């Protein structure tokens, strides 16, 4: 629109959209600062079905197991030491 020579009024100060985004970020940070992990967990705990904690535990155990196996095979290919981690539960 202005080529390589935009007028001073178009380039001085903070862009209006950027100013709104900065205010929104400040608001978000204030809200995050006053919200604890316990607040989040409490809200989540009231919402979830009773069986969900067991499902999460199984999911985490599977992830941990796969990560240990991946590290071990990666380390073995590289000739390094074995990966360590929590023992896998027998099901």
91 inside domain: no
85 inside domain: no
90 inside domain: no
Q: Flag whether pLDDT at 22 surpasses 90.
A: yes
Contact 68/85 with Cβ under 8 angstroms? yes
55 inside domain: yes
83 inside domain: no
Tokens of 80: 């390094």
1 inside domain: no
- Residues 31-52 as b or e (16 or more Cβ within 10 Å = b): eeeeeeeeeeeeeeeeeeeeee
The total domain count for the chain is 1
55 pLDDT tier (thresholds 50, 70, 90): very high
pLDDT for res 30: 97
Higher pLDDT, 79 or 59: 59
88 inside domain: no
Residues sharing a CB contact under 8 Å with residue 16, sequence separation 6 or more, in sequence order: none
Higher pLDDT, 26 or 1: 26
Q: Flag whether pLDDT at 77 surpasses 80.
A: no
Range of the domain at 30: 8-78
84 pLDDT tier (thresholds 50, 70, 90): low
65 inside domain: yes
Tokens of 10: 């178009």
């Amino acid at each position: 629109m202005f080529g390589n020579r935009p007028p001073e009024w178009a380039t001085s100060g903070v862009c209006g959209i950027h100013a709104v985004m900065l205010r929104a970020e400040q608001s978000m940070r204030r809200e995050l600062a006053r919200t604890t992990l316990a607040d989040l967990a409490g809200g989540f705990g009231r919402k979830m079905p009773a069986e969900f904690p067991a499902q999460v535990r199984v999911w985490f155990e599977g992830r941990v197991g796969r990560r240990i196996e991946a590290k071990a095979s990666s380390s073995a290919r590289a000739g390094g030491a074995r990966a360590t981690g929590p023992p896998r539960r027998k099901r």
